[in-house]
Amino acid sequence: MSAKYIFVTGGVVSSLGKGLAAASIGCLLESRGLKVNLMKFDPYLNVDPGTMSPFQHGEVFVTDDGAETDLDLGHYERFTHARLTRDNNLTTGRIYEQIITKERRGDYLGKTVQVIPHVTNEIKNAMKKVAAMGQDVTIIEIGGTVGDIESLPFLEAIRQMRQELGRENTVFVHVTLVPWIAAAQELKTKPTQHSVKEMLSIGIQPDILLCRTDRFLSNDIKSKIALFCNLEEKAVITARDVPSIYECPLMFAQEGVDSLVLRYLHIEAKEANLAEWRELLERCYHPRDEVSIAIVGKYVEYEDSYKSLKEALIHGAMAENLKLQITWIEAEGLESKFLGDRSYQSQLEGFDGILVPGGFGKRGIEGMLNAIRFAREMRVPYFGICLGMQTACIEFARNVCGLEGANSSEFDPATSDRVIYKLRELIGVEEMGGTMRLGAWQCVLKPDSIASAAYGTTTISERHRHRYEFNRDYEALLTGAGLRITGTTPDATYVEIVELPGHPFFLGCQFHPEFKSKPLEPHPLFHSFIQASYRNRDKRAAAMVPSQIAAEINR
Ligand code: GLN
């Protein structure tokens, strides 16, 4: 079978969920027994999102091979079994970097290097490289919105791909908006018509329209869109807003997206088996109870900054048939101005579990330390991820071991006690994004630990994205006072997990487990954190007097 491609573009406005759409199509095709691969092109000039602020760009998703990628790759991995690498996410910046390197090397033999054909060829080659991995279908998402200047080379490249490979090997899926206009009490198709016109002007006729809307599209609307946009009525798909993103594959299946794609690509496949997804949704939409988690971080006002984290918590909660209540707490707001001032405590009361996620820089650290102290002393389940593990060690060193000056050299380079420090000081110029421990690292677990009980094994592999490490010079002091190191790299150089025995759940890990959690395969650490938090909720409920329970129920 020759390589088959699905190209996903977006129109009208951004944030229509192209990534989710691509991931859901991938999921559906897998449910029909096909192997898929997914890739994304981002039209900005940064070489990768590694150096971009989470406020600007949302989370940086990390793959096993250590690529810092767009958060849509997280959706791809959560919805499918595709194994993504740095080849699966390319930016305009990287494409140009590759071209300029070749140009400097003389590879172009004196020719003028131009957008067409050199940039478009580079893009096409990147697509073909991923398709050559041998999966049945490669789904390619083009970032940005049709009409943007930046997206043009990518759109031109996919237009050429259709020319080269033919209709039976390429499908164009266009995600657009069909808004409900309250004043007219009507769904409006004009933005979609304009968006398709824009596509046509650059030579691309969409085959399938995924119409984002808040309600079902009637057959009348569908036939109107089909008529104006030049496609069959069946190819106008209602992509309705759904309460859980994990309903998307089921919704698309209902609309027949998979059958349509397979028909266009001339692929025979077995019937879809979506039983596991149905069960998952059942648990998600009919929870037996809820569990409340406070996330104390620094990018909390922009939820996309912690995309995978939020999803991983949802996966853990769904596995327990619980509804997840997340409260985002700005760490800076928990900083106490005076020694001994514990007014921050009121903000932390009443949660079943507390989590401090990853982050960079000094802002909010003292607030995180207060939150961790609260969790440790009040025996509230605590889960610290990367920065949240480092701060847990600092908190322990300061408040249990009495090392007042304990800190990370990231926040105070001159600190007397560098409990967390940079182990791999690089010689020479420090390139932004270049000095991190990135991607998959193996970790060996102590047999009798929370971690090994959760994983059910003692060797694991998890993804990293950080510069600073636990300083083993302080190991004897901290472990002497009760902290346990339960995970290290196999060569014992790096500390990967710390735990507090005797506490209901207190675990910090240097890696980012959230990147490997999937709805159908919840991550063991998130799952056991949710379990512990729910046990804590039960305990709190048991300790409450009846009037408090009534207040809680009515909350
Ligand atoms: N800033 C810390 C470091 O670089 C933690 C990074 C993170 O949480 N991802 O080591």
Rounded CA separation 470/355 (Å)? 19
Give the model's pLDDT for residue 435: 80
Euclidean distance between CA atoms 323 and 227, whole angstroms:
43
Asked if pLDDT for residue 376 goes beyond 70, the answer is: yes
Dump pLDDT digits (tens) for 247-288: 999 999 999 999 999 999 999 999 999 999 999 999 999 999
Q: pLDDT tens digits, residue range 72-93?
A: 999 999 999 999 999 999 999 9
Q: How would DSSP label each residue in 220-244? A: HHHHHHHHHHTS-GGGEEEEE--SS
- Check: CB of residue 328 under 8 Å from CB of residue 297: yes
Question: pTM for the full model?
Answer: 0.93
> What's the gap in Å between 410 CA and the centre of ligand 1?
9
Q: Please identify which of the residues 27, 229, 248, 386 carries the catalytic annotation.
A: 386
Cα three-residue angle 466-472-473, rounded to 5 degrees: 130
Active site residue 512: yes
Task: Output the pLDDT for position 407.
Answer: 96
* pLDDT computed for residue 543 by the predictor: 75
Query: Does the pLDDT value for residue 168 go beyond 70?
Result: yes
Atom 6 (ligand 1) nearest CA:
466
CA-closest residue to ligand 1 atom 5: 387
Q: Which helix (H) or strand (E) is 314 found in, with range?
A: helix 307-319
Q: Whose CA is nearest to atom 8 of ligand 1?
A: 358
**How many whole angstroms from 116 Cα to the centroid of ligand 1?**
41
Q: For the segment 330-354, what is each residue's pLDDT rounded down to a tens digit?
A: 999 998 766 567 788 889 999 999 9
Q: Over 50: is that where the pLDDT of 427 sits?
A: no
Judge whether residue 433 has pLDDT over 70.
no
User: Which pLDDT value is given to residue 548?
Assistant: 58
Handedness of CA 529, 531, 534, 536 (dihedral sign): negative
Q: What is the mean pLDDT of residues 45-56?
A: 84
Q: Tell me the pLDDT tens digit for each residue of 519-536.
A: 999 999 999 999 999 999
| Mean pLDDT score of the chain | 93
Ordered structural domains, the chain, with CATH: 4-279 (3.40.50.300), 287-542 (3.40.50.880)
Q: Which of 386, 407, 421 to mutate to test the pocket of ligand 1 (most atoms within 8 A of CB)?
A: 386
> pLDDT tier at 426 (50, 70, 90 boundaries)?
very low
CB of 174 within 6 A of ligand 1: the answer is no
CB-CB neighbours of 116 under 10 Å: 12
Mean pLDDT across the stretch 486-494? 95
Please give the average per-residue pLDDT across 284-306, as a whole number.
Answer: 91
Q: Which of 466, 470, 471 to mutate to test the pocket of ligand 1 (most atoms within 8 A of CB)?
A: 466
| Cβ atoms within 10 Å of 179's Cβ, excluding its own | 17
Q: Which residues pair with 240 in a beta bridge?
A: 213
Q: Is 68 a known active-site residue? A: no
Q: Say what the pLDDT of residue 343 is.
A: 81
